[in-house]
Structure formats: structure tokens, C-alpha cells
Amino acid sequence: MNHLKLFPISLNNKCGFINKHGDIVIKPQFDYVWEFSEELAAVENDQKWGFIDEKGTIKIKLKYDYARFFIGGVARVREYDRYFLIDKQDSPITEKQFERIRYCYDGMIQVRLNRKWGFIDRKGRLVVKPQFNSCGRFSEGLAYVEVNGKYGFINKTGEIVIEPTFDSVQSFSEGLACVKLGEKYGYINKSGETIIDPKYEIGLDFHNGLAQIEINKKVGYINNKGEIVIEPQFDLGATLSG
């Protein structure tokens, strides 16, 4: 089945959708809308959210206090102060218990309960019990977590595989993660080995083989061996994503 590419628009303080030719496909009738994802879009009227299909038919009644996108067949919604997941039939996948839920990455979803973060899978099963002060998304099989103010990494069973010894970290990208020790940034591999010594004022993720770094307040780029490919000379850089 070919699905339409629809774009949100606002007209006379109401929101709807147009196609790529500018034709109104779903007339402006909502107070707010989000873009379509997996053939459904979250829409809001009178501070209540639900979902419509590409014909504008309401598929999930506008009854939630919060709703966003469907990703992997599930969407996060909120009733009062508790978040949970629903499927496209509007059936709850998790209990209505979480203080926060973040989107699914690498098959895992971050959840907060009793002010601690853990992970569930797409079926709502608790995989890593909430126990961390903060955590990042899973990327390349690992996620960073905070323990006593220091950061390390866990695998998908919740086992700490890189000890929390860093002052801050970023998610793994192209096999490396940017970490901060003291006031400098460097890079480690998935074994926790230092591959690029912490010597940069700023370090960002690798994309297409390069990472943006800063030396003496000038931006340049390095490769995954720590070799400078583009000399630090710019006041501002951009991530080289494809």
C-alpha cells in the first residue's frame, strides 16, 4: 500500500494536513498536530490527544493528556502524571506507572520510576530495573548510565561493562564513545579502552568517519585514530551526518 506524504499546516488557528502539491487533505480542525509516523498522527483538541489516519479518521479517541509518535508499533501517552505505552489498537502495553518514558532505540525504551531510570523492551517487559540516576539511549548494544555522579556503560541485560569512572559521556557511534575526564574530552571503544586521549575542549559523536573537536576554542575534525583531518580553524562546526 502506498502511503501519502502529508505535511502539517495551520490555518485560522486550526491545524490540518496538506499533500506535496499543497492540496488540503485533512481540513484544519485540530488545535495542534504532530507529523505522521507509521500511518498515524497525534492530534489535539481541548488539551486532549489522540491519533488519526491519513484520511483524517480518528483511530484512537482524543482522551490522553499527552501523545506523540508511533515508533515500532508503539506510542507513549500520558494520563494525568503517569506515562505508558499503547499499540495501534489503543491497548496498553505497559502499566500506567512511569514518571517518564523515552523513545525506543536499539530495541530498548528508557523509563523512570521512583526517580530512577531503567529499560523496558517494545513489548513492555522490564529488562533493566529502574536503578540509575540518569541514563542514555542504547546505541550499538550499549547505553550509558550514571552511578554516584560518574558515568559508565551497561549492556542489554543491565550488566555494567564499562565502569562508571567518567565525568560525562556520549552514546556510542561508529564503535567509539566520547568521554570526559576532568575538563577534557577523548574517546573509548566498547571494551572501555582509551583510543583517543582526552585532550579536546569539546568532542562530538563520529559520523561518516569524522568527529568534531575543539582546540583553543577553534573547531576542526579528527578521524577514528585521533588524527586531525581538518585543522581546528573554525568558530562553529556542523556534524557530518549522511
Q: Are 187 and 203 in contact (CB under 8 A)?
A: yes
Q: In whole angstroms, give the CA distance from residue 85 to residue 11.
A: 31
Q: Share the mean pLDDT of the chain.
A: 93
Instruction: Please provide the CATH number assigned to the domain covering 167-242.
Output: 2.40.10.480
Contact 135, 148 (CB under 8 A): no
Angle, vertex CA 1, rays to CA 39 and CA 45, nearest 5: 20
Question: What is the C-alpha R_g of the chain?
Answer: 21
- pLDDT category of residue 241 using cuts at 50, 70 and 90: very low
d(CA 215, CA 186): 12
Q: Map out the domains of the chain as residue ranges.
A: 1-97, 101-160, 167-242
**pLDDT band (50, 70, 90) for residue 238:** low
DSSP H helices in 1-135: none
Average pLDDT over residues 99-116: 92
* pLDDT in the model for residue 237: 54
In this structure, CATH architecture of domain 1-97: Single Sheet (2.20)
Strands 24-30 and 177-181, sheet pairing: unpaired
Neighbours of 76 (CB within 10 A): 25
* 23 CB neighbour count, 10 Å cutoff: 8
pLDDT tens per residue, range 173-203: 999 999 999 999 999 999 999 999 999 999 9
Paired strand residues for 17: 8, 26
What pLDDT shows up at residue 107? 87
Q: Are the CB atoms for 219 and 237 separated by under 8 Å?
A: yes
Percent residues over pLDDT 70 in the chain: 95
* Phi, then psi, of 157 in degrees rounded to 5: -100, 0
Same fold, 1-97 and 167-242: no
Give residue 105's pLDDT. 85
Residue-wise burial string across 116-148, b where 16 or more C-beta atoms lie within 10 A, e elsewhere:
ebbbbebebeebbebebeebbbbbeebbbbbbe
Report the alpha-carbon distance of residue 52 to residue 137 in Å, rounded.
28
User: Is-contact 8 17, C-beta < 8 A?
Assistant: yes
- Three-state DSSP class for residue 89: coil
